[in-house]
């Protein structure tokens, strides 16, 4: 099933009337920060930002952001003076963008720095999966961007071509080989993943992953997998469904997408209509696959946090939101049609 349950979405809708707000955004999307990509290569301007009293820094420790308690919780932005006081060494700052004419950076602290949490009283480093559903939409988007950049820079310290050390450039949005004869520049990558709710004759197919021992009893989710080189979204949906469940797919309907910063994927949510045939399981990927009725799925969506025969991932996941959308918009086996 590829990289796991996937994404989250603030979707509003009525499961009985079939109305759903398709303009709502998934958690980690919907950011309001001006990314100001043209600034990244302006080293003089970045240097001025780093020294400005108005600039704020969001610390990450072990890829967990600093969060200030509240209703809702907020990001633990710190001024430069507090960042300088955290460690004796200079920390590379990752440029996130500009908000209200002030620059915003992420700073990755070593996991070994566990003495105390910086920021005001009530601040703490919190896991992204735990805190993201509680944050305002723009704040969750900032967390996704900062976490993905921090993870990429931490794992790309060497040139992918010659193996020489690679130094950070473009304010954290690129790394350049330090060997003058090579000079290869690497950029952060985002891996596309298709995740699809498969339906036929008013039922939907969900699978239980072989890693399900980490998941609650009864948890089933949409099939998912990485898009391969030279492959379209529709082709990836059809290939993954055939490989994992032995079913051929007819119509593929794109629903929505979401950035998923674990470490950096783009979940591409689709609904796919299965052609006639029996489902079979790929034991390397799935423990089981099952068809569920609309009534069973509706109960699972409404009681997603209760252990039952069918339990779907939480609202933080795109699997949950695809199920909710199918219940809200679907009218039978022939939905959706182009």
Q: What is the pLDDT of residues 158-201, one digit of tens each?
A: 999 999 999 999 999 999 999 999 999 999 999 999 999 999 99
Q: Is the peptide bond before 336 cis (omega within 30 degrees of 0)?
A: yes
Mean pLDDT of 274-293: 95
**Higher-confidence residue: 207 or 213?**
207
Burial class of 3 by CB neighbour count within 10 A (0 to 12, 13 to 18, 19+)? middle
Tell me the domain boundaries of the chain: 13-28+190-329, 37-155
Contacts of 7 (CB under 8 A, 6+ apart): 26, 27, 28, 195, 257, 258, 259, 260, 267, 269, 316, 317, 318, 321
Write down the pTM of the prediction.
0.88
Model confidence pLDDT, tens digit, residues 88-123:
456 789 999 999 999 999 999 887 666 667 888 889
Would the pLDDT of 7 be above 70?
no
Position 4 scores a pLDDT of 41
**What is the Cα–Cα distance from 125 to 131, expressed in whole angstroms?**
10
Q: What is the pLDDT of residue 215?
A: 80
Calpha distance 96→143 (Å, rounded): 10
Can you name the CATH fold of 37-155? Nucleoside Triphosphate Pyrophosphohydrolase (3.90.79)
- 105 phi and psi, to 5 degrees? -130, 155
* pLDDT greater than 70 at residue 338: no
| pLDDT mean over 119-139 | 92
Q: Rounded to 5 degrees, what are φ and ψ at 306?
A: -115, 135
Residue 217 has pLDDT above 80, yes or no: yes
Those residues whose C-beta lies under 8 Å from the C-beta of residue 230, and which sit 6 or more positions away, are none
What's residue 89's pLDDT? 52
> Looking at the predicted structure, is the pLDDT value of residue 9 above 50?
no
Mean pLDDT of all residues belonging to the chain? 88
Top pLDDT among 121 and 136 is at 136
Percent of the chain whose pLDDT exceeds 90? 75
Asked whether the predicted pLDDT for residue 14 surpasses 50, the reply is no
CATH 3.40.50.300 fits 13-28+190-329, yes or no: no
Q: Does residue 145 have a pLDDT over 50?
A: yes
Q: d(Cα 163, Cα 309) in Å, to the nearest integer?
A: 50
pLDDT digits (tens, 9 = 90+) for 39-89: 999 999 999 999 999 999 999 998 999 999 999 999 999 998 888 766 545
Pairing mode of beta strands 56-61, 102-109:
parallel
pLDDT at 122: 87
Give the pLDDT of residue 73: 97
Cβ atoms 302, 228 nearer than 8 A: no
Q: How many CB atoms lie within 10 A of CB 250?
A: 12
Rounded to whole angstroms, the Cα distance separating 118 from 124 reads 8
pLDDT at position 279: 96
Among 13-22, 122-131, 242-251, which stretch is predicted with the lowest mean pLDDT? Answer: 13-22
**Interacting residues of 232 by C-beta distance below 8 A, sequence separation 6+:** none
The DSSP annotation for 283-322 comes to TTTEEEEEEEEHHHHHHHHHTTTS-SSSBPPPTTSHHHHH
Instruction: Confirm if 267 and 257 have CB atoms less than 8 A apart.
Output: yes
13-28+190-329 shares its CATH topology with 37-155:
yes
Tokens 């990752």, residue? 94
């Amino acid at each position: 099933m590829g990289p796991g349950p996937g994404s989250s979405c603030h979707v509003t809708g009525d499961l009985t009337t079939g109305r759903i707000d398709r303009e709502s955004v998934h958690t980690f999307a919907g950011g309001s920060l001006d990314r100001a990509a043209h600034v990244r290569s302006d080293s003089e301007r970045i240097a001025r930002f780093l020294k400005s009293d108005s600039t704020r820094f969001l610390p990450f420790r072990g890829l967990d952001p600093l969060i200030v308690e509240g209703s809702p919780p907020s990001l633990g932005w710190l001024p430069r003076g507090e960042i300088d006081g955290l460690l004796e060494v200079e920390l590379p700052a990752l440029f996130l963008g500009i908000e209200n004419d002030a620059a915003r950076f992420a700073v990755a602290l070593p996991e070994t720095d566990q003495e105390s949490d910086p920021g005001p009283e009530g601040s703490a480093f919190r896991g992204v999966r735990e805190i993201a559903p509680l944050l305002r939409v723009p704040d969750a988007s900032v967390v996704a961007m900062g976490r993905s950049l921090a993870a990429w820079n931490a794992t790309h310290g060497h040139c992918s071509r010659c193996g020489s050390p690679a130094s950070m450039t473009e304010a954290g949005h690129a790394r350049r080989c330090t060997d003058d004869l090579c000079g290869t520049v690497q950029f952060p990558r985002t891996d596309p993943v298709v995740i699809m709710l498969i339906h036929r004759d008013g039922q939907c197919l969900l699978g239980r992953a072989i890693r399900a021992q980490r998941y609650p009893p009864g948890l089933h989710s949409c099939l998912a997998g990485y898009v391969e080189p030279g492959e379209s979204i529709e082709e990836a949906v059809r290939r993954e469904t055939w490989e994992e469940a032995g079913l051929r797919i007819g119509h593929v309907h794109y629903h929505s997408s979401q950035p998923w910063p674990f470490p950096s994927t783009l979940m591409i949510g689709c609904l796919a209509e299965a052609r006639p045939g029996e489902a079979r399981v790929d034991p390397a990927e799935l423990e089981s696959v099952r068809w569920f009725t609309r009534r069973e799925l509706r109960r699972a969506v409404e009681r997603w946090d209760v252990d039952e025969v069918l339990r779907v991932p939480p609202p933080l996941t795109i699997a949950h939101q695809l199920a909710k959308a199918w219940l809200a918009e679907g009218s039978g086996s022939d939905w959706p049609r182009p």
